[in-house]
Amino acid sequence: MKDALTLRISRRTFLKMGTSTVLTTAFTQPVIAAVLPARHEPRVLSFFNIHTGETLRACYRANGKLIHHEVNRINHIMRDYRTGEIKPVDPDLLDLLHHIVIQVKPHSPINIISGYRSPRTNAALRKITTGVARKSLHMQGRAIDIRIPGYQTTTLRQLAIDLKSGGVGYYSESDFIHLDTGPIKVW
């Protein structure tokens, strides 16, 4: 008798768990899909380099894969405009920018204040201004300073902080934010 009772409880528990799993899966997937961008959805970014006047609209990822010739175009617009040197941009930085673009749906391109910086440029900037790190992630293609016309930099800063995807700096006097793919920190 005890074995039959145990078997019924186990069967009942099993059926409850199965039903719960089916219902949870059926109702949470659409919610998750609505909140997160589709993995294989094309990812497009638009840029304006304030120093060179260049603009670019590039689909850098489709079907979950990087489109290398488009990433190379982004590397070019994010180059050290002072020296002309180009460094590959971290794809995670592009994804971070894309997550921000999804949230704000801008009508204007992302304004690049500073993308890649050569070690020589970084050292020169350290001599004339504060806030330039000796081992800046700009020198590794893992950082960008931006603003997006029509959006307060404080709003962009908060969006970036909420994403918890790296460093976020706020430079109110110059009206831009710094984003990087290093450790999570805020300044």
- Tens of pLDDT, residues 2-60: 555 444 555 565 555 555 555 555 544 444 444 444 567 899 999 999 999 999 999 99
- DSSP 3-state of 183: coil
Report how far residue 185's alpha carbon sits from residue 182's, in angstroms, rounded to the nearest whole number. 8
Rg (CA), the chain: 23
CATH topology of domain 43-186: Muramoyl-pentapeptide Carboxypeptidase; domain 2 (3.30.1380)
Pick the more confident residue, 26 or 131: 131
Please report where in the chains the tokens 């706020």 appear, as a residue: 170
Residue 61 has pLDDT above 90, yes or no: yes
CB contact at 8 A, 104 and 156: yes
Overall pTM > 0.85: no
User: What pLDDT, on the 0 to 100 scale, is given for residue 19?
Assistant: 55
Give me the pLDDT at residue 40, please.
78
Residues 6+ apart with CB under 8 A from 162: none
Residue-wise pLDDT for 74-122, tens only, equals 999 999 999 999 999 999 999 999 999 999 999 999 999 999 999 999 9
Q: What is the pLDDT of residue 130?
A: 82
Q: What is the pLDDT of residue 14?
A: 52
Query: Can you give the pLDDT at residue 66?
Result: 97
Type of residue at 87: K
**How far does CA 173 lie from the centroid of its chain?**
24
Flag whether pLDDT at 127 surpasses 60: yes
